[in-house]
Amino acid sequence: MCGIVGYWGPEKPKKVILDGLRSLEYRGYDSAGVAIFDSSKLKVVRSPGKLSQLEEKIKSSEFTGPSGIGHTRWATHGAPNEKNAHPHKVGSIAVVHNGIIENYIEIKEKLAKKKIMPSSDTDSELIAHLLSLECKKGKNLLEATLNVIPQLRGAYSILVVNEDEPDTLLAFKNATPMLVGIGEKEIIIASDVQAFISRTNRVAYLEDGEIVLSKKGQVKFFNVRGQEITNKKIHEVKWNSVMAEKAGFDHFMQKEIFEQPQALRQTMESHVDHDSMTVKLKPTGLTDAQFKKFSRIQLIACGTAWHAALVAKYFFERVTKISTQVDIASEFRYGHSILEKDTLVIVVTQSGETADTLACLRLCKKEGHKTLAVVNVPHSSIDRESHGRLYTNAGPEIGVCSTKAFTSQIVALQLLALHMARLRKSCKVTEIQEHVRALLELPSQVEVCLNHDKWFKEAALSLTAYRGFLYIGRGVNYPVALEGALKLKEITYLHAEGYPSGELKHGPIALVDSSMAVVAMASKDELYEKNVSNIEEVRARGAQIIAIGTEDDAHLRRLSRHYLSIPKATWATNSILMAIPVQLLSYHVAVALKRDVDQPRNLAKSVTVE
Ligand code: M6R
């Protein structure tokens, strides 16, 4: 959370920094600010609200450069007002920060004893005070940083400029991301590659405890003891800036929903052997011998990725016959779970930076378990740190509301399960072939669903007035119900709950009356009749039914106010198709309610604090 950009180079820093911040606004949009050199002075301008407010404020300001830093904030400590916006400048030092300094009270007390009173309510300003104190003792920026790092506890990426050194940028981090873009004659330091991918694709990823010092474009890396790291790897990133544009769609979320056929093709690309109709994964970092040996699977994720993992549990157990557990990362992390020796830990994440998921990965590695990341962003922290990796390859996902990540995660997890099933001979070859055929058919079936968008929109327009929503489903469709409710909550701010259909009678049915809309997943599968009975039960109590079923289901059509169809699929691919109407319903409700679809309130795309 929070987006950081720093620039040194021949361009006007204001433009590069604002362009970078615009592409990072998905990380937080509570306030924004810059500290940019204007001749020899470091000028700080900050503004509450979105970046556009800051842009307005500095539209006629000339900053001569050569460097500067900027920040877009997701507030943790202190209200989202101007005083708490970053950068924080103390003496000659200006700082932007992403993360949380956990021992900020202790630091504040230490500073108070020196009669230093911060002017904001943030933990971040304290870092600027600590660095400034060191510089006043005659230390240079690197020496000051080496003395400050041991005083900080928590997760942080920190970028610093010093008014006395206009050609210098310095950054350091622990547990949240920080990247260095190395251009021809320029350096850009940022939280995400999207901030500079239009300028350079040469990237160095800062590891925890590393410091980067850029002086006149010469970049050096150091460890916390101040020793230079001479073998820092420079990666060439394959994403490009066009992939992160709206391409004629009204919102990133809408674009990403419509990108799903292509995203799913990319997820499957080169993992499927078309001759034998089986799955042979490209090297993941784990060996076939290891895949044969695991006797338990533990999936860990947050939010939408957790829902994808829940869907995958059914598939893993049915095709690999391995007992599979799914946990929310923030719960697993402090849950003292006991994992058996031969457990494969699979972390599922779009960004590869989610703080709790990363912490679980580290915990499981420390306990000696093999880990595999199902991850979308290449070179992200989770990608770099896990033993093995399976990329979802869905391309950049910018909308805060995750869509193509969800479907591509389910597909990637099914590929993994089928790969393991083949190696372990845990299900018949013909069964594997049937699943592979169903997966290969999926992208064109998703296209069919997308072609029904006008029906989804029509249904959505009649839903804006309901008091509450229940999303219900059974089996693999139960996690899709959870996902549907999450989509609706996060971008429309309407109250929605996801429930297993069979659980309604154990309490939630008491909520049902004519002001309640029930979105029911009832594809033609082994649980169809049971689902229909549950639909009858809520219908009898006055609920408005929006049913999602297979092809033209006359019975469901009769029961529901809106009937939305998906193509005929298998029990395993139904859940992926079900996601499409669910995503588009939420999208259209949000648009009708004039919500900020891509930047819903209080949220950020990449949750890098716990
Ligand atoms: O990047 P990750 O997949 O680890 O992110 C996990 C969640 O933060 C994310 O899925 C979140 O729930 C989305 N906003 C849901 O749309």
Structure tokens at 347: 């972390």
User: How far does residue 255's CA lie from ligand 1's centre (Å)?
Assistant: 17
- Is residue 588 very low, low, confident or very high in pLDDT (cuts 50, 70, 90)? very high
| Residue whose CA lies nearest to ligand 1 atom number 9 | 303
| Residue whose CA lies nearest to ligand 1 atom number 10 | 304
- Is residue 65 very low, low, confident or very high in pLDDT (cuts 50, 70, 90)? confident
Task: Name the amino acid, one letter, at 515.
Answer: S
* Domain range list for the chain: 3-244, 252-449, 453-592
| Residue whose CA lies nearest to ligand 1 atom number 14 | 401
Half-sphere exposure of 93 (CA within 13 A, CB side): 28
**Ligand 1 pocket by Cβ (under 6 Å):** 302-305, 349-351, 354, 357, 400-402, 405, 486, 490, 607
pLDDT reading at 246 higher than 80: yes
How open is the CA angle 281-287-290, to the nearest 5 degrees? 115
Q: Quote the distance between the C-alpha of residue 51 and its chain's center.
A: 21
Tell me the pLDDT of the chain averaged across its residues.
Answer: 95
CA distance 34 to 521: 48
Helices (H) and strands (E) in the chain, counts: 19, 27
Structure tokens at 411: 């597909």
Burial annotation 476-514 (CB, 10 A radius, 16+ → b, else e): bbbbbbbbbbbbbbbbbebebbbbbbbebeeebbebbee
Average the pLDDT over 321-326 and give the result: 98
Q: Do domains 252-449 and 453-592 have the same CATH topology?
A: yes
CA distance 300 to 374: 10
Q: Which of 74, 493, 607, 608 has most ligand 1 atoms within 8 Å of CB, for mutation?
A: 607
Classified as helix, coil or strand, 55 is helix
Task: Give percent of the chain with pLDDT exceeding 70.
Answer: 100
CB atoms within 10 A of CB 545: 20
The pLDDT score that the predictor gives to residue 202 is: 96
**Close Cβ partners of 114 (under 8 Å, ≥ 6 residues apart):** 133
Task: Name the amino acid, one letter, at 410.
Answer: I
- How do residues 10-48 score in pLDDT, each as one tens digit? 999 999 999 999 999 988 899 999 999 998 899 999 999
User: How far does residue 600's CA lie from ligand 1's centre (Å)?
Assistant: 13
Torsion of CA 305, 413, 439, 430, to 10 degrees: -150
CA distance 327 to 481: 17
Pairing of strands 211-215, 165-174: antiparallel
Average the pLDDT over 493-512 and give the result: 94
**Close Cβ partners of 204 (under 8 Å, ≥ 6 residues apart):** 179, 180, 182, 212, 219, 221, 232, 233, 234, 235
The pLDDT score that the predictor gives to residue 42 is: 96
Treating both helix axes as pointing N-terminal to C-terminal, what angle do 571-592 and 429-451 enclose, rounded to 10 degrees?
20
Segments in 82-236 forming alpha helices (H): 104-113, 124-136, 141-148
Residues with catalytic roles: 2, 605
CA distance 211 to 458: 53
Q: Which of 194, 300, 304, 358 has most ligand 1 atoms within 8 Å of CB, for mutation?
A: 304
pLDDT reading at 62 higher than 90: no
User: How far does residue 304's CA lie from ligand 1's centre (Å)?
Assistant: 5
| Size (the chain), residues | 610
Q: Which uninterrupted H or E stretch holds 288?
A: helix 288-293
pLDDT reading at 238 higher than 90: no
Q: Which of 192, 253, 350 has most ligand 1 atoms within 8 Å of CB, for mutation?
A: 350
Residue appearing with tokens 């429930």: 499
Pairing of strands 235-236, 228-229: unpaired
CATH superfamily name and code, 453-592: Glucose-6-phosphate isomerase like protein; domain 1 (3.40.50.10490)
Nearest of 606, 605, 587 to residue 491 by alpha carbon: 587
Segments in 462-553 forming alpha helices (H): 477-492, 528-540
Half-sphere exposure of 444 (CA within 13 A, CB side): 5
| Domain topology for 3-244 | Glutamine Phosphoribosylpyrophosphate, subunit 1, domain 1 (3.60.20)
CB atoms within 10 A of CB 204: 20
Q: Which uninterrupted H or E stretch holds 408?
A: helix 404-424
User: How far does residue 561's CA lie from ligand 1's centre (Å)?
Assistant: 31
**Close Cβ partners of 161 (under 8 Å, ≥ 6 residues apart):** 6, 35, 37, 42, 67, 68, 69, 93, 94, 168, 169, 170
The pLDDT score that the predictor gives to residue 337 is: 87
Average the pLDDT over 253-270 and give the result: 96
The pLDDT score that the predictor gives to residue 360 is: 97
* CB-based contact 408:439 (threshold 8 Å): no
The pLDDT score that the predictor gives to residue 242 is: 67
Options 3.40.50.2300, 3.40.50.10490, 3.30.930.10, 1.20.1730.10; CATH of 252-449:
3.40.50.10490
| Residue whose CA lies nearest to ligand 1 atom number 4 | 349
Q: Which atom of ligand 1 is nearest to the CA of 304?
A: 10
User: How far does residue 401's CA lie from ligand 1's centre (Å)?
Assistant: 8
Q: Which atom of ligand 1 is nearest to the CA of 400?
A: 14
* CB-based contact 102:66 (threshold 8 Å): no
